[in-house]
Structure 1
Amino acid sequence: MTTEITRPTTDDAPPALPPTDIHDRGSADARAATKESLEDYTLRFAPRSYRKWGPGVVATSALGGIAYLADFSIGANIGITHGTINALLGIAVAAVVIFVTGIPLAYYAARYNIDLDLITRGSGFGYYGSVITNVIFATFTFIFFALEGSIMAQGLQLGLGIPVWIGYAVSTILVIPLVIYGMRALSKLQVWTTPLWLILMVIPFAYLVIANPSSVGEFFDFKGQGDGSLSLSSVMLAAGVCLSLIAQIAEQIDYLRFMPPKTEANRRRWWGAVILAGPGWVIFGALKQAIGLFLAVYLIASLDPEAAATANEPVHQFLGIYEQMMPGWLAMTLAVILVVISQIKINVTNAYSGSLAWTNSYTRITKTYPGRMIFVLVNLAIALILMESNMFDFLNTILGFYANLGMAWIVTVATDIAINKYLLKLSPKQPEFRRGMLYAWNPVGVVSLALSGGISIAMFFGAFGPGVQPFSPMFAVLIAFVATPVMAIITKGRYYLRRTDDGIDLPMLDDDGNPSDERLMDLATGIEFERPDMIASAVPGPDGETQYISSLSLATDKTGEHVLPAQR
């Protein structure tokens, strides 16, 4: 199965023409954004002409992005704190919530070929309202970049004697060349490195279970820092840390938006890939968390106290097991290779997705396209500062706090799709993301996010007393789930669409319900774009004819002269 992503044939580089009189002030930014978006589609949906590889390759590429080792640390940390039983139940609770909320998001991304920001715009937040959630997502990417970078630095220090602070810089700089080339390079990297990563990760666990069967009993008997008894508050605290990973669905969607059209012929493979690589990522994540705890418990029970103190660090976890299987030099080599491969696989995705989020927000606010690489560097700089601040020592607190914001955002959007669109029918079922078609702000999502995130964060910091403090992520879920449909009912759904007609007579979808691949000429760049990306311009042509402009060009239109007037 090939992993080559074919470049578009008609959506290629802009013709060498000077900016037209029609759109002089914004055409330079529009053309710059167009050129870079051909590879990454930073600001728009992914056209059919670009999506040339099958569901299996998309799923493999998407799942390659969850090769991070943070799960091992998370599982070990919550298990050491709360004991095995509470940790496993917390992992299970979080996995169920993440899986259920991920289904509608993954479906919309794969079906309509748009990322989570574009989905969020039309699912309760509005054209500018989703900038808030973009910042939340960008925060996720640099927190987890920093976490994975810290793990890599630990590996480089242990294996090569490189000081940790230098390791932080190395782990940051290493991903820059890979991220420059966007999705084409990322898809190849993920597919080629996944088999080796799986072998290096699975063998130690299998060896322990087979060679030391008593380790299984020790694992389930492990009590952690407390008495190990079943405790609802401990389960919820453990779940809260795991729920911080809920925003990972946005990174999965950055791959899923490149799914091929769904047809009767590929229906089963298409759905299998969407479920496996979309919400299904959490199944693999939960397994890694449980394995991380398993390895940590074994090291704590088998090694001296000083060595056991690093049992929550993945490089020490795998090195400790490798050393029982092979010579020390080989064990060290394989442990470092595993850490480096894992860090690269996830952090190219973190850097890539973070740059998309920052670029998208900045361009919408300023109507200026600065280039995605600028925000790659911004995201990496923030992550490096977190690493040098030794964030690894405050992992549970950072992730527990972030979980509340992540849950508020994801649950609000998922509820809008599942309840407001399909049940109440107050939200338009077909996603809308184009400027002029949406209101700038939609109180449905914005208010729901504010209530859910604000109240749950206050709970997290003890504002409502210690009794409910552990349950803050669950309250984030509940409040978002209730507030989203309530706000849609109160507003009667009037703030979703500013217009219902985009001024184009061609149908938006083909006979199979997929985004149409009909093409129209963009007046600002002179390039043909596919129908879902286009909207009629408010500026008629020289002879009074209707002209068309892409959502990409509208994003950089500083004058607003091409934005159609409101219909409602």
Structure 2
Amino acid sequence: MTAVQPAPTDTALKETLEDYTLRFAPRSYRKWGTGVVATSALGGIAYLADFAIGANIGISYGTGNALWGILVFAVVIFLTGLPLAYYAARYNIDLDLITRGSGFGYYGSVVTNVIFATFTFIFFALEGSIMAQGLQLGLNIPLPIGYAVSTLMVIPLVIYGMKALAKLQVWTTPLWLVLMVFPFIYLVAAHPDSVGTFLAYGGADGAEGKGVNFGSVMLAAGVCLSLIAQIAEQIDYLRFMPPKTPENQRRWWTAVLLAGPGWVIFGALKQIVGLFLAVYLIANVADGASIANEPVHQFLEIYENMMPGWLAMTLAVILVVISQIKINVTNAYSGSLAWTNAYTRVTKTYPGRMVFVLFNLAIALILMEANMFSFLNDILGFYANCGIAWIAVVASDIVFNKYILKLSPKVPEFRRGMLYNFNPVGFVSMLLAAGLAILTFFGGLGSALEPYSPIVALVIAIVMPPILAVATKGKYYLRRTDDGIDLPMFDEHGNPSDATLFCHVSGMEFERPDMIRSAKTGPEGEILYISSLSLSTDKTGEHILPEQN
């Protein structure tokens, strides 16, 4: 009798519900075109938090410092996100699976799952708070009840994973774009003087035109860089990209660039618009300073300049609700994947993704009730250090260790038994980068360095992986180089093979990249194969192949 427990319920095995939580997304499931995948991924950045972030950093540091900070944020996120997005789309795996084989090891990447899950519930709480503000303003729903409504309403949409999310994102995007973009165009056309006011704004202290200084730029960039982990949410869609072929390679690359690191272009524009609207409210609306960083008020004030009050209120509430649903289904979905990955590897028990949908939402609701919106800059500034450390280490490993030094295997590996449990290259690099950056953030290295914690995190995270890879000679990446299967891993175009093999534990067939030979043999000594999902829940380790010398 086998000790493996691949999944305790039939529901947990249903691929349409579980969306390939712990493993490679097979070709048989990836039926969407490049355009649908890209639109779905970009639909996940419909959040209004960017407007609040842009407003907050502008009010704190002035327009000039905020704009330079946003530029720094955009460049860093694009450059670090590009290799990650490519690997996800090319090899059809999420960022956790990429992280495992990019310097962290099978268990080493558990800590990054927690970092990512933290990102999802922080931003779920932020977006839920914005939605609750809209419901209070438009429907007089008390904030505590609004928090609960914004949390509970996403659950039915998240259950069915990518199939439901793709439809939601594609069909709601056109209306969202019109509601968001048109007010800004109207404001610039009707009040051209608002542009000059915006550019001259010096921040809450009233020092107009006080100029740009590097410390303030980095503080602003640090808040924005809290969004660096957004690439993991983009990847949760990009892993469903169709195979790359000579016929579709232009469309394929366009989709990967736009929906992968290209999300930051749209994010940066939203932050700038958020600051622009905030400055307009401060300059032209009575008591505008008290509501300038709340997106629902930003849009309501502009709508009221264009149409009757009842219609303005209706559209403002519709915009807020659509935006929050579009992003918070992604936050809930991606957070559940991260928690499930971490829990299953630590406990070797697979409870199903829905358990962690509810868990993640419960944490987000607690944060909302604690009024996290009031100390947004502090939360995001602190979190940025952890997010930068993780993403930049993985990007550094791919660029330097895989492609330049060739000390890390170019093809990503994620299967248990093929990897060492821990790899010091990525794991230690991330701990050093995050630890020193957090110490800097709290003034532990002196007040003069305090604004530069994002630089500390970024530099250490980029430099340390190649140093440690050279020092360890790359020997902690692969425990084995042979997975015991004779079938080729890739097709003639370099895409993961769609050949299937039978998993003797679960009794199901899985595609080649998801399979590995079992250490156990059949009754007649025949070779048996096991899926990565079943292997991840092998509590005795009896199916794990021995280490290769």
Query: Same fold per TM (> 0.5)?
Result: yes
* 1:123-169 alpha-carbon deviations (Å, 9 max, x no partner): 00000000000000000000000000000011011111111111111
Question: SS state of the match for residue 547, structure 1?
Answer: strand
Quote the offset at 1:256 in angstroms: 0.0
CA distance in 1 between counterparts of 2:428 and 2:284 reads 52
State the aligned residue count.
546
Quote the offset at 1:39 in angstroms: 4.6
Structure 1 residue aligned with 2:83: 104
- The equivalences for 1:389-404 within 5 A come to 389-404=370-385
Alignment of 1:223 onto 2:205: no
CA distance in 1 between counterparts of 2:176 and 2:355 reads 31
Contact in 1 for aligned 2:4/2:505 (Cα 8 Å):
no
Alignment of 1:119 onto 2:110: no
Structure 2 residue aligned with 1:251: 233
Give the structure-2-normalised TM-score.
0.98
CA distance in 1 between counterparts of 2:416 and 2:467 reads 26
Give the structure-1-normalised TM-score.
0.95
Gaps (5+ residues) in structure 1?
1-20
Give the partner amino acid of 1:471: Y
Structure 1 residue aligned with 2:393: 412
Q: Give the ranges of 4+ consecutive aligned residues of structure 1 lying more than 6 Å apart after TM superposition.
A: none
Structure 2 residue aligned with 1:335: 316
Question: SS state of the match for residue 234, structure 2?
Answer: helix
Q: 2:259 aligns with which of 273, 277, 301?
A: 277
Quote the offset at 1:445 in angstroms: 0.8
Quote the offset at 1:525 in angstroms: 1.4
Alignment of 1:463 onto 2:424: no
Question: SS state of the match for residue 484, structure 2?
Answer: coil
Quote the offset at 1:30 in angstroms: 8.5
CA distance in 2 between counterparts of 1:105 and 1:28 reads 29
Alignment of 1:357 onto 2:338: yes
Give the partner amino acid of 2:112: T
* Superposed CA RMSD: 1.1
Structure 1 residue aligned with 2:523: 542
Structure 2 residue aligned with 1:292: 274
CA distance in 1 between counterparts of 2:313 and 2:127 reads 19
Alignment of 1:302 onto 2:309: no
Give the partner amino acid of 1:77: N
CA distance in 2 between counterparts of 1:26 and 1:307 reads 58
Give the partner amino acid of 1:309: S
Q: 1:175 aligns with which of 154, 172, 185?
A: 154
Contact in 1 for aligned 2:44/2:234 (Cα 8 Å):
yes
Quote the offset at 1:370 in angstroms: 1.0
- The equivalences for 1:472-551 within 5 A come to 472-551=453-532
Structure 2 residue aligned with 1:16: none
Question: SS state of the match for residue 510, structure 2?
Answer: strand
Give the partner amino acid of 1:181: Y
* 1:509-547 alpha-carbon deviations (Å, 9 max, x no partner): 111000001111000112111000000000011111111
Give the partner amino acid of 1:380: L
Structure 1 residue aligned with 2:545: 564
Contact in 2 for aligned 1:54/1:259 (Cα 8 Å):
yes
Give the partner amino acid of 1:290: I
Alignment of 1:73 onto 2:52: yes
C-alpha spacing 1:90/1:128, structure 2 compared with 1 (3 Å):
same
Percent identity of paired positions between Structure 1 and Structure 2:
76
Give the partner amino acid of 1:503: G
Question: SS state of the match for residue 414, structure 2?
Answer: coil
CA distance in 1 between counterparts of 2:231 and 2:13 reads 26
CA distance in 2 between counterparts of 1:272 and 1:245 reads 22
Quote the offset at 1:29 in angstroms: 3.6
Quote the offset at 1:483 in angstroms: 0.7
Give the partner amino acid of 2:504: L
* 1:267-310 alpha-carbon deviations (Å, 9 max, x no partner): 10000000000000000000000000000111111111x23310
Structure 2 residue aligned with 1:90: 69
Quote the offset at 1:207 in angstroms: 0.1
CA distance in 1 between counterparts of 2:7 and 2:60 reads 55
Structure 1 residue aligned with 2:33: 54
Contact in 2 for aligned 1:39/1:183 (Cα 8 Å):
no
Q: 2:22 aligns with which of 43, 54, 58?
A: 43
Contact in 2 for aligned 1:523/1:547 (Cα 8 Å):
yes
Question: SS state of the match for residue 537, structure 1?
Answer: strand
Structure 2 residue aligned with 1:366: 347
Structure 1 residue aligned with 2:179: 200
Give the partner amino acid of 1:273: A
CA distance in 2 between counterparts of 1:181 and 1:525 reads 22
Quote the offset at 1:27 in angstroms: 4.7
